[in-house]
Structures are given as structure tokens and as C-alpha cells.
Amino acid sequence: MDYERVFSDAIAQLKAEERYRTFANLERDARRFPLALWRPEGEEDRPREVTVWCSNDYLGMGVHPEVIEASVEAARAHGAGAGGTRNISGTHHPIVRLEAELADLHGKQAALAFTSGWISNLAGISTIASLLPNCLILSDALNHNSMIEGVRRAGCEKKVWRHNDVAHLEALLAAEPAARAKLVVFESLYSMDGDIAPIEAILDLCEKYGAMSYIDEVHAVGLYGPRGGGVSEREGLAHRIDVIEGTLAKGFGALGGYIAASAAVVDAVRSYAPQFIFTSTLPPSVAASAAAAVRHLKTSSAERERHQHMAWLTKHALRAAGIPVMDNPSHIVPVFVGDAQKCKAASKLLLERHAIYIQPINYPTVPTGTERLRITPGPAHSEAQVAELVEALVDVWKTVGLRFEEAKIIPLFRRAATAPAADCVYPEMKKAAE
């Protein structure tokens, strides 16, 4: 067997299908986020400054002074690692405090932290469903890979309902005996299109047909709701959801994932999930920085408000220039390209000619023919940077030969008028940079 050949063929196949991924070598500048140094391949010693427009550190909490300080302080106080699994020596005080913050954030009895959001979905869905006798999982068609893996790992029957189609979900639920255990899994905010689930209607069905509800709020925690509890908090629905899953790595700027639920559900997952039991705990510094971000965003709405303002301003400016922004009611700004090669070319040109970093989104992350650039404006972007982005995209659209739309003026989001000015955000950070 020519083992090497197998792997190089596998790579060649990805390249032939335009699915081969390359990563940009970037170094964030914590004092000047969203600026970063980019080291082009072969010229690593000649870094160039670029503006990042696709980070999932949506609010820049990863560079927030309180968050950095919490991380450094915990590392000095408790060391770099956790010392193993939770069972052995890994249940440290910062992670206990983090879990208390998270339970409080979602108004649940308990929370459990995992090493990533991906792992928390795998562990949460598979453990809950496998403990329920003869469980049927009902899964939204566009659920994230981590949820799909959780469903697979559960080993029980599953049915997929058409994306956000509550009539289809109801038909599937109604076809089952009332007494059968059912777990309905879905996301609040789908991050590639930026659309939001009809959460209330889904919960009505869960209650009507006696199903457990499990929501992934990964792209909403920290960003929505008066305390950053996600879309379910904003809509006053969190108390009706059985399990809320989130990440600490996007809106909260750190690393890790979690579930928040009743004490019994959390204790069962803690006791049965191998993805929790047999792996080392997040380090104290990570737990402390995540907790600092969660705590900060419970009382500060300035980041959320400016985040929404910048997202709506960016959409408005791009549409006015005829750039095809895909419509949605959230902070995600997907720009339609519809061709894998052109999407890559557009991204490359943005980086090389305009010092703007936006990762191309191709199959299998999105369906073939819907390739796009996914832009995530944040509170730290300036209005001047939005103007630069628009100019750069117009140039790239012309150079690559992409289709312009008729300029559209969609009125700015109401809140834009009252959004805080750029220098309201992180005055401490600005001071530190001076």
C-alpha cells in the first residue's frame, strides 16, 4: 500500500473541486483590533498591516482590557494549565465561577463548560438523546456540523425538518406517538445566511407535542438580549427552552463551549458524556477571561449597540454601491458571489490589493452556487473603514467581473441614530494604546 499516495490523492481531489482550504498567517494587534499583521507565504519576514472584516470575535471582547487582565491575572495566580480532567484535578475555582455566570446568564439552574462549542454540542446532544429511551431527534436541515455529529453519535432515530419550516416540524412531530421521547435541536441564528429561527413557534410545538428543546445560541450569546443571553433572552423565551448551548470563543472572545439547563440535565451530561469526562479542563486563564467577558456584557450594552450600528451601516453602504448583500435581520453581512473560483479570487484581491481580510466561504460550508464573502463588522471598526471596504469591494467586483445589483437604499436600523460614537467603545483600550 502506498500510504503517502492516498493522502496526496485526497488533497488533489479537494484542489480539483476548488475545496482546498488555505489559511492566512495573521497576527492580531490587541491594541489596534481589527488591525492585524499578515505574513504572505514566502515573505513571512515582511508582514503587512491589514484590516480584518470576518472575525467571529464579534464584539472584540478577545482584546478587551478587562478580559486580557483577567486572563493574565489567573495565569499568574494559578499557572498555565488545569492539571488534567475535571475528575483528576481540573475543577478549579475560575471554571466553577464561569459556570455560575453562565447559568445566571440564561436563567438556568446549572451550566457545564467544555473545551469548545463543537464539543459541547457533540456531548450535549448525544448524551441527552442516548439517555432518553427510544428517543427521536428532530434536527433543522441547516444545523451546524457539531450538532449533526451529536445527532449521529446519539445512535437513535433522527428526522430532519426543512430549515426553519415549522409546518414541516409539526408534521414530523404529529406523526409520532405522544408518549415517545423527542429532542428538537436547532440554532437561534444561522451564521452563514444570518437568518433567525422562529423560536417561539418551535417552542409552542415542543410544548404541544411533549418534546425537549435544545438550542444552539453560538452566534448570538453576548450579542443579543439586554444581558447578552442571546436571541432567546431578547425574545423572552429562555425559560421555555430546556437546553441552551453556547460558545465562549466568538462573542465572548475566549475559548470553550457550554450548555445551560436544569440541574438534573447538567448533572447527567457531566456524569455520562465521555467528551467531558475524559479530556482535560480549560485552563484557569481561559475560564477567567471568558467569565470576565460574560460579566462585562451583562451590564454593558455599548458594545452590542455599536455592533448592530456598524452591521447596519455596512449593509447600507454596500447596497448603495450595488454590492449584492444577502438580506437578513442580523449582524451577519453575507455578500453573494455564487462561484467558488471567483470567490477565492475576490478574497485574494481584497487582501493583496486592498489590505482587507475576508475569508471566502465555499462548499461544503455553504451549498455550491451560493459561495459568498461573509463580512462581520464590529464595534471597533470605524466609519472610515466602512468607506474603505466599500471602495475596495467595488474595485474587486469590477476586476473579477462580478455582478452588481441596482443600488438599493434600505432605511437604516432604528437604533443607528442613537448608536454611541466610536470612541465610546473601550476608552481604556484607546488610552493604553497612546
Ligand X SMILES: *Cc1c(COP(=O)(O)O)cnc(C)c1O
Q: Are 341 and 18 in contact (CB under 8 A)?
A: yes
Residue 218 touching ligand X (CB under 6 A):
yes
Place of cell 451577519: 332
Element containing residue 171 per DSSP (H, E): helix 166-174
Question: Given candidates 55, 121, 308, 362, which one binds ligand X under the rule CB under 6 A?
Answer: 121
> Nearest distance from residue 102's CB to ligand X, in Å?
13
Cross-strand pairs, 189: 196
Interacting span for ligand X (CB under 6 A) from 5-13, 194-202, 211-219, 331-339: 211-219
Burial class (CB in 10 A: 0-12, 13-18, 19+), 176: middle
Sequence-distant (≥ 6) Cβ neighbours of residue 105 within 8 angstroms: 221, 227, 228, 229, 260, 294, 298
Question: Given candidates 191, 289, 362, 385, which one binds ligand X under the rule CB under 6 A?
Answer: 191
| Helices 302-320 & 383-400 angle (0-180, nearest 10) | 40
| Closest CB to ligand X among residues 118, 224 | 118
Residue 144 touching ligand X (CB under 6 A):
yes
Residue 118 touching ligand X (CB under 6 A):
yes
> Nearest distance from residue 344's CB to ligand X, in Å?
21
Residue 249 touching ligand X (CB under 6 A):
yes
Residue 285 touching ligand X (CB under 6 A):
no
Reduced to 3 states (helix: H, G, I; strand: E, B; else coil), residue 423 is helix
> Nearest distance from residue 187's CB to ligand X, in Å?
5
Cell of residue 77, nine digits: 495566580
**Residues 323-328: contacts with CB under 8 Å, at least 24 apart:** 323/390, 323/393, 323/394, 323/397, 323/404, 323/405, 324/403, 324/404, 324/405, 326/193, 326/194, 326/372, 328/193, 328/194, 328/195, 328/196
Catalytic position from the list 108, 182, 250, 344: 250
Is 250 labeled as catalytic in the residue annotation? yes
Question: Given candidates 116, 130, 279, 365, which one binds ligand X under the rule CB under 6 A?
Answer: 116
| Closest CB to ligand X among residues 71, 146 | 146
> Nearest distance from residue 324's CB to ligand X, in Å?
23
Interacting span for ligand X (CB under 6 A) from 2-10, 45-53, 115-123, 164-172: 115-123
Which residues are tagged catalytic?
250
The contact set with ligand X (CB under 6 A) reads: 116-118, 121, 144, 146, 187, 191, 216, 218-219, 247, 249, 257
